[in-house]
Structure 1
Amino acid sequence: MVVVDGSGEVETGVNCFSFGCIVVSLVVTRVGWCWQLVAVLVAEDLGGRWQWVMKEEGMWQSEAVEMMFLGRVSSTLKPLQRSRFFSSNSGYDFSKAIQELNKEMESVFGEPPTSSLSGSIDNQSMAQDLESAPTNVTQSISSSGLTHIDSKGEAQMVDISPKEITKRVAVASCKVILGQKVFDLVSANQMEKGDVLGVAKIAGICGAKQTSNLIPLCHIINLTHVALNLTLNPRDLCVEIESEAASNGKTGVEMEALTAVTIAGLTVYDMCKAASKDILITDVQLESKSGGKSGDWLRKK
C-alpha cells in the first residue's frame, strides 16, 4: 500500500511485494539466478521497509509508485553492504550462502527438478547399462546350458563330434479336439478326403524324417525307427496321437518325435477343416527320452 502525506513523503511496505516475487520465482524456475533474486528480496525485507521522500510536493500517487519500483530495481542490482548474502566486504562465502538458502527452500517446497546436466549423466549411465546388457545376458544364457547360443549371443549349430554314439529314444504326444460332428464323421470314416487317421499316420512319419529341414539348428539324424499311434477318444471327442522315434547316434531324437505328432495333428486338421473350423490342436509335449549324456527322463503325470 502507498501513502502520500502533505509533506510529500512516500512510504511503502515491501513484505507483500517480496513474497509475491518469491512465489513467482519458485513457479517459473528453481535455477541459481532465481534463488539469488529471492535472496536479495529477503535480505531487503530483513533490513526494514523502504522509504522514499518526494522532494516535489503535489506528486501523483502513480508517479510515486513508479519511483519506488525503479528504486527497488536499482538497489537490487547494487551490492548490499548490509546483506549477509551478497556483501562484498563481509567475507561471507557466497556459494555457501546460496546452498543454505536452497536447503531452506527445499525443506519448505520439496526437492528441485532434475537439471539437464544430471539428466544427461543419467542417460549416459543408462546407455552404458544397455550396452553391457547383451554381454550379461549372453553370459547368463551360456551358464544356463543353452548350447545353441555362442559367446557372442548368436545362434549356432552345436558341435557333437566329441560325443559318444548311444541308443536314443524319445516319445511325444498331442491331442486334436474335433467336436461331436467331426468326431462322428471320422469314426465312421465318412470324411470327403478319405481315411483321416491313416493319412495322418503316414504324414507324421514323413515329418519326423524332415525335422532337420524344418528346424534350422537340428542335426541330420539317421533314424532307425519311427512309429505313430492315433486313437479316437469318445469322452473328449478328440484324436490322441503318440509317436516314438529312435536312433543310434550322437544327439537325441526328441525333436523328431515332437515333429511327428505335430505334422500328424496338422494333417488331421487339414482333412477335417471342411466340416468345422473349431478343431483344436493342443497338448503337444515330450513324454519321455532315454540315452545320451543327460540320461533318462519321464514326464510326471
Structure 2
Amino acid sequence: MSKLSHLDDQGHANMVDVSEKQVTFREAVAYAEIQMRPETLALIVDKGHKKGDVLAVARIAGIQAAKRTSDLIPLCHPLMLSKVAVDLQPNYERNLVEITATCKLSGQTGAEMEALTAASVAGLTIYDMCKAVDKEMVIGSVKVLAKSGGKSGDWKVEK
C-alpha cells in the first residue's frame, strides 16, 4: 500500500511538493446528485421558484467553488483552471438532479478536488435554495468519474 502523500515521515500534514512534476494537460470529471420530492423537481425545472432559476444559480456556485477549492481544502494547490463546466440534468424517474462538473488545466497536479468541490457546492446550492419547500432532499453519490493527464494516467468509472 502506498503511503499517504500529504503526510511527512513524522506523520505531520504537509502540502505535496509538485515543483519537479511535468506540466501536462489534465482533466477531471466529478458527479453528485440531489434527490427530492417530485413537486420540488417540477418547481425547479419549470423555473417557478420565487428565489429564481435554481439551476442557473447552482451552476454559477459550482464554477465559483471550483476556483476557490484551495481556500476550502487546506492542502490543495491553487490551480490556474482553464475551464470549469457544471451540467445539471433533471432525472424524473429518480426525482433528482444529476450534477456533472468538469475541470481542465495545464499544470503539475490534477483537478479532481476542484471537480468534486464544484459538484458538491452545486448540490448544496440547490439544497439551500429549495430547503423551504423540501426539507428532506438528499445530496449523495459524490465521486470522481474520470481523470486524465499526469503521472498516474487516465481512468474512468461509470456513474
* TM score, norm. by length of structure 1: 0.52
Bigger relative CO (Cα 8 Å, ≥ 6 apart)? 2
Residue equivalent to 1:90: none
Amino acid at match of 2:11: G
> Matches of 1:233 and 1:144 in 2, distance apart?
39
Residue equivalent to 1:298: 156
Deviations 1:93-112 (A, max 9, x none): xxxxxxxxxxxxxxxxxxxx
- Aligned partner of residue 255 in structure 1, secondary structure: helix
* Structure with max Cα Rg: 1
Deviations 1:205-248 (A, max 9, x none): 00000000000000011001100110111101111110100110
Give the CA deviation at 1:145.
3.0
> Matches of 1:300 and 1:253 in 2, distance apart?
19
Residue equivalent to 2:110: 252
Q: Indicate the structure with greater strand content.
A: 2
Residue equivalent to 2:61: 203
In structure 1, which of residues 151, 168, 176 is the aligned counterpart of residue 34 of structure 2? 176
Aligned structure 1 segments of 4 or more residues deviating by more than 2 angstroms: none
In structure 2, which of residues 127, 140, 144 is the aligned counterpart of residue 286 of structure 1? 144
In structure 2, which of residues 128, 136, 139 is the aligned counterpart of residue 270 of structure 1? 128
> Matches of 2:120 and 2:129 in 1, distance apart?
14
Give the CA deviation at 1:300.
4.5
Deviations 1:112-153 (A, max 9, x none): xxxxxxxxxxxxxxxxxxxxxxxxxxxxxxx62311010001
Amino acid at match of 1:158: V
Q: Which runs of 5+ in 2 are unaligned?
A: none
* TM score, norm. by length of structure 2: 0.97
Amino acid at match of 2:122: A
Q: Indicate the structure with greater helix content.
A: 1
1:167 equivalent to 2:25? Answer: yes
Identity value in percent: 50
Over aligned residues, Cα RMSD in angstroms?
A: 1.0
Q: Which runs of 5+ in 1 are unaligned?
A: 1-142
Deviations 1:246-285 (A, max 9, x none): 1100000000000000010000001100101001101000
Count of paired positions: 159
Residue equivalent to 1:38: none
- Aligned partner of residue 40 in structure 2, secondary structure: helix
Amino acid at match of 1:167: F
- Aligned partner of residue 172 in structure 1, secondary structure: strand
